Structure 1
């Protein structure tokens, strides 16, 4: 089991991965479609009553460039490789051509539309299907002159619980100092019971857990607080529980994120998720699950399909953060290399973090002062524009988060080729990065530039 904390700062994890993609723009330019479908799914075998739960596969057709209309088309689905162990339920827009192939009507994509739903069909393991059997469902699509690269979903059969979390809605416009909650449904769509559940929670730095439960352990880290909870309620096939996490919205909240995941409990899984960190047990009332549906009895096994075990929710507050740029003055003789420092200070009141897109809080742009040359910059943080302009433009970026009242300093080596009294350059932030726009949260852009002065 991977450490869920590593998921922070990355792009949001989705439960369905693109199974087949094309390399170019769509219909009008390169006649290219993309097919998006789950990368993999596991069909539960027979449960205690002899039935097998059904899985759904949702397929979409998309394109890169949405400038032109793409006419209605067809999606071909081939289930020949899984026919020996699975039964397919075709939707109304799919016409079977044989026992193992169907053609589905795909609606047109008007100009401005990037994707459309193509088909959602059901799969169920056949009675007596061998556990461990596997094969691929394969797809292709055509619309007018546009065609797709082939795509596929791997389908297997297994026995075990299949815990999952519903996706809670993102929240916007939260008021700093207020309270909110994230509501989700914990369910088991497998064919075996999870006797106990291991629940992982992570609230970003501008949020706080309203309660510290006695059956949970907590640890603070740079970007927030994590919790590990052991839930003793058995979750049987078909069982659904309400999971409600109360959160306080801090005075420093802005772009916040709440992550949670569920796994069948084991001592090994708990120790792996604890890692080498220090955790502190809560002292409040135990966290319990409230059942939403009746349960059926079964035996315990590892989780069948972990693709829906993890969810992330974005919670944005109405707040501001004033970034201020500080420059420096340096001096030296011709031939010297000096270090100029540029500091990005977050004056608050909010901290700033890009926990979804993973963008830098601030990217600064600068050129070498007259008579100097910029020396080697750290490759992981800085780069040089390769546009042939003179003088050359350089860029450096901060980490993806900056706490309130905290600062981050760039060190810029400058070789003095010749002494020019009062040589200077302006360093300024890029305020319109589409991944994290400074203009949207910074109320004072006048202090987002500074000077490097040499001699």
Structure 2
């Protein structure tokens, strides 16, 4: 019903999670903005035979780009004018309606180190007689101090049918490589029609192992981890809730991991869409089945997509190597700087999308940097000379892998033995090298010209 398939935030596969800012320092010094975090889409079941319609809640969080420094209390503005003809809104105590279709909600402050806050949770219910398929957007904006948000929105529609949702799973920290961990969750139908079958999508990042390869699932391995598509044959009636267990191995290369899963009612078209043109391999272990849910309530199934962060006690030794180049005045030569990951862990920023490493350097004396790729590198702001340049790696680097930057240098005049130091920025608040790298002494190297 909701179809909010944020495949790793749509991010891991395309490695485009982080926007590189151009400024006086590395990419993480980009402008600090507020962001609205709300469901992409939610469905309101229509009224039943008695004229009653179930209530749905919308959780709206506000986050920011950089977690250092404090952000004062602010305001979230919610505009429901597009859904007023088919839905009723119940506002929480921290929201004050300014009209029939707009409310302003008090938003708590974000102390230093806090990445997000819950701004509001409000309830929606389809009006009696609401047309099946009626839809519109709830729109949001936020302000706190001098910071403003990008616009946010949630599509709301009335629909009669199954509405599958997953229970929340707590993040896992301090895991030990070589062990196993369990991620028990629940599958529920919050709609008003039975889901005869369920299509389950799974992703386990590279440092995790889906230990069972079930016969009713298909699997695909990629460099960033394992994907699975499973067809569950148990019918899930409205109001029913089942257990959906997952066992994961924590690999020796595990560090910053994530497990994502989503559900939707099965259809041949949906399965074909999610398979795409990629090759999948069917498992041979016992089928994955839904089981009876525990009697005690969990935090309540909310979304058809959930993501779990898993962190292991592990390290990864990043190491830089430089290069020596030579040429005559007027030549353009290519210096190469390589970031190596000597492991044992791989390093990945699968949520924020930060580069594994950002390196800084200046042109050696007598040379000028020319033609750096703009998508990966940028100069410091201002006209100070010599300028500092920054280049960033991709958002993941596997154990034993490396990434090389090619730096074109125009030799303006020959200075024998001219050199420049290249070093990693070790304190990016989004992915701090200092937190996982036990040996920072090898995190710098030199570019030497005409030794």
TM over 0.5: yes
Matching of residues 420-431 of structure 1 within 5 Å: 420-431=415-426
1-structure distance, mates of 2:367, 2:79: 64
Question: What is the CA distance between 1:128 and its match in structure 2?
Answer: 3.1
Contact 1:94 1:105 in 2 (8 A): yes
- Offset from partner CA, 1:309-352 (integer Å, 9 cap, x none): 21111111000011110011111111111111111111111111
| Counterpart check, 1:4 vs 2:7 | yes
Task: Confirm whether residue 385 of structure 1 aligns to residue 388 of structure 2.
Answer: no
Q: Does 1:270 align with 2:271?
A: yes
> Which of 408, 419, 424 in structure 1 is aligned with 2:403?
408
> Could you say if the C-alpha distance between residues 233 and 432 of structure 1 is closer, same or farther in structure 2, counting changes exceeding 3 Å?
same
Indicate conservation of the 8 Å contact 2:110/2:117, yes or no. no
CA contact 1:10–1:357 (8 Å) conserved in 2: no
Q: Secondary structure at the match of 1:380?
A: coil
Which residue is equivalent to 2:242?
241
SS in 1 for 2:245: strand
Task: Decide which of 377, 391, 396 is 2:391's aligned counterpart.
Answer: 396
Larger C-alpha radius of gyration, 1 or 2? 1
Q: CA deviation at 1:379?
A: 1.1
* Residues 1:283 and 2:284 are matched in the alignment: yes
Residue 141 of structure 1: CA displacement?
9.8
Tell me which residue corresponds to 2:443: 448
Q: Following superposition of structure 1 onto structure 2, how do residues 118-129 of structure 1 map, counting pairs within 5 Å?
A: 120-129=121-130
Shift in Å at residue 162 of structure 1?
A: 1.1
| Cα offsets for 1:363-385 (capped at 9, x unmatched) | 11111111111121111111111
- Matched residue SS, 1:315: strand
Per-residue CA distance 1:152-208 (angstroms, 9 max, x = gap) = 765432211111112311111100101012222211111111111111111111111
Bigger drift between 84-93 and 350-359 goes to 84-93
Question: How far apart, CA to CA, are the structure 2 residues paired with 1:365 and 1:387?
Answer: 16
Please tell me whether the aligned partners of residues 106 and 116 of structure 1 are also in contact (alpha carbons under 8 angstroms): no
After TM superposition, the score normalised by the length of structure 2 is 0.80
Contact 1:109 1:115 in 2 (8 A): no
Q: Which residues of 2 match residues 187-202 of structure 1 at below 5 A?
A: 187-202=188-203
In 2, the alpha carbon distance for the partners of 1:149 and 1:251 equals 40
* Per-residue CA distance 1:205-238 (angstroms, 9 max, x = gap): 1111111111111111010111111100111111
After TM superposition, give the deviation of residue 125 of structure 1 in Å: 2.3
Give 5+ residue unaligned stretches, structure 1. Answer: 13-23, 27-32, 295-305
Question: Paired residues, what number?
Answer: 422
8 Å CA contact retained: 2:137, 2:153: yes
Judge conservation of contact 1:69–1:111 (CA < 8 Å) in 2: no
Alignment of 1:310-349 (within 5 A): 310-349=305-344
Q: RMSD over aligned Cα, in angstroms?
A: 3.9
Map 1:55-74 onto structure 2 (within 5 A). Answer: 55-58=56-59, 66=70
- Measure how far apart 1:57 and its partner are: 3.5
Q: Write the distance in 2 (CA, Å) between the matches of 1:119 and 1:362.
A: 36
Contact 2:73 2:107 in 1 (8 A): no
2:223 maps to 1:222? yes
Distance in 2 (alpha carbons) for counterparts of 1:380 and 1:102: 40
1:419 alignment partner in structure 2: 414
1:431/1:235 CA distance change after superposition, 3 Å: same
When residues 225 and 134 of structure 1 are mapped into structure 2, their CA distance, relative to the original with a 3 A threshold, is closer
SS of residue paired to 1:308: coil
Query: Structure 1: how far apart are the matches of 2:58 and 2:349?
Result: 32
Cα distance, 1:186–1:10 mapped onto 2, change above 3 Å: farther
Aligned-pair CA distance for 1:51? 4.0
Name the structure 1 match of 2:46.
Answer: 45
Distance 1:205-1:108 versus aligned 2 partners, 3 A rule: closer
CA distance in 1, matches of 2:213, 2:389: 47
Residue 376 of structure 2 corresponds to residue 375 of structure 1: no
Query: What TM-score comes out, normalization by structure 1 length?
Result: 0.80
Larger deviation: 134-143 or 122-131? 134-143
Q: Distance in 2 between matches of 1:387 and 1:78?
A: 41
Contact 1:365 1:427 in 2 (8 A): yes
SS at match of 2:249: strand
Of 345, 353, 367 in structure 2, the residue corresponding to residue 350 of structure 1 is: 345
Q: CA deviation at 1:244?
A: 1.3
